[in-house]
């Protein structure tokens, strides 16, 4: 008899557990108050997610596992929200350039900062004032760059003019400095400023970037964040999953913040990357308002 009855059931279970310590992912329950100094993280230290150095299976230009979608995080609102992108005003009749409600203050701050042209501190818009304000807005990524001295331009100018670079306590070697209170970043070597001060955006409420002294422990020109499914250009890690990187959103949207990372404009992220290396000292001072 050629009667064969086969009853078979094949069951397979594959469990893949992906554990990633992603950039800008700082657990607020274990967050330091800035009084301790974590040891620098070396390249040989084991890491995963956005903190991991490239391997043969995970290069610096492609993630280990291509996600099915790319989604930026949806952070909660921060109580320290600053102005959103400035509204586009109508030009004034006299100069063809709009005048904002913070004209005199912005003229004063830009005169102190220097490098943007000649301004007359009188509270009245002129062609020269307009040109200088536009240059300032373009340099620091303020949109739209119309020359109007509005709330965002005023806020950025005030923070930059009020940054005291000596508070960083930088020595003779290269040091990256972060002022959380003023949301500014600069770099010093041998007592001289070699970058900035420039603008930044740090951790929002619940993800406050902790103050302290650290060292750059990992670098990647294009790092993948597992938790938030987003690329982080010019990544320089200095505290667990926290590091410097180019912002992926409008930097001056104060209603949001990072998950602990130090967000930078493109040109500043590139320059900081060019300056930095494994072991570069990082000093973080102050605390972001509202966190």
Q: In DSSP terms, which residues pair with 245 in a beta bridge?
A: 263
Alpha-carbon distance of 204 to 257, in angstroms, equals 4
Share above pLDDT 70 across residues of the chain, in percent, rounded to a whole number: 67
Mean pLDDT of the chain: 77
Model confidence over 17-53: pLDDT tens digits?
333 334 463 333 333 333 333 333 333 223 323 333 3
Q: Encoding tokens for residue 168?
A: 């960083």
Predicted model pTM: 0.71
Residue 46: what pLDDT? 30
Residue 63: what pLDDT? 37
Where does the pLDDT of residue 87 fall: very low under 50, low under 70, confident under 90, or very high at 90 and above?
low
- Write the CB contacts of 55 (distance below 8 Å, at least 6 apart in sequence): none
Specify whether the CB–CB gap between 240 and 26 falls below 8 A. Answer: yes
Alpha-carbon distance of 280 to 172, in angstroms, equals 12
Residue 86: what pLDDT? 59
Where does the pLDDT of residue 255 fall: very low under 50, low under 70, confident under 90, or very high at 90 and above?
confident
With H, G, I as helix, E, B as strand and everything else as coil, classify residue 265: coil
Least confident of 47-61, 75-89, 91-105: 47-61
51-88 b/e with 16+ CB inside 10 Å = b? bbbeeeeeeeeebbeeeeeeeebebeebeeebbeebee
The residue among 96 and 257 whose pLDDT is bigger is: 257
Where does the pLDDT of residue 223 fall: very low under 50, low under 70, confident under 90, or very high at 90 and above?
very high
């Amino acid at each position: 008899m050629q009667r064969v009855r086969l009853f078979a059931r094949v069951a397979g279970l594959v469990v893949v557990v992906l554990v990633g310590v992603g950039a800008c992912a700082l657990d607020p329950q274990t967050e330091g108050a800035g009084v301790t100094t974590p040891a620098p993280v070396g390249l040989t230290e084991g890491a995963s997610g956005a903190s991991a150095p490239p391997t043969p299976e995970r290069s610096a230009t492609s993630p280990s596992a291509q996600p099915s979608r790319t989604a930026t995080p949806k952070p909660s609102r921060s109580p320290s929200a600053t102005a959103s992108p400035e509204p586009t005003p109508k030009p004034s009749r006299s100069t063809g350039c709009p005048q904002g409600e913070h004209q005199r203050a912005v003229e004063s701050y830009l005169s102190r900062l220097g490098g943007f042209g000649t301004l007359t501190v009188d509270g009245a818009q002129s062609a020269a004032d307009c040109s200088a304000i536009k240059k300032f807005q373009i340099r620091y990524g303020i949109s739209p760059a119309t020359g109007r001295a509005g709330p965002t331009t005023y806020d950025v100018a005030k923070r930059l003019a009020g940054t005291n670079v000596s508070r960083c306590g930088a020595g003779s070697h290269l040091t990256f400095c972060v002022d959380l209170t003023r949301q500014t970043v600069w770099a010093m070597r041998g007592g001289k400023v070699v970058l900035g001060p420039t603008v930044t955006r740090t951790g929002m409420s619940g993800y406050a970037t902790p103050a302290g002294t650290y060292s750059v422990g990992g670098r990647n020109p294009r790092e993948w964040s597992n938790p938030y499914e987003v690329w982080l250009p010019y990544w320089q890690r200095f505290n667990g999953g926290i590091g410097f990187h180019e912002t992926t959103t409008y930097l001056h949207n104060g209603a949001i913040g990072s998950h602990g990372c130090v967000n930078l404009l493109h040109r500043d992220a590139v320059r900081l990357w060019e300056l930095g290396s494994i072991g570069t000292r990082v000093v973080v001072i102050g605390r972001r308002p509202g966190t």
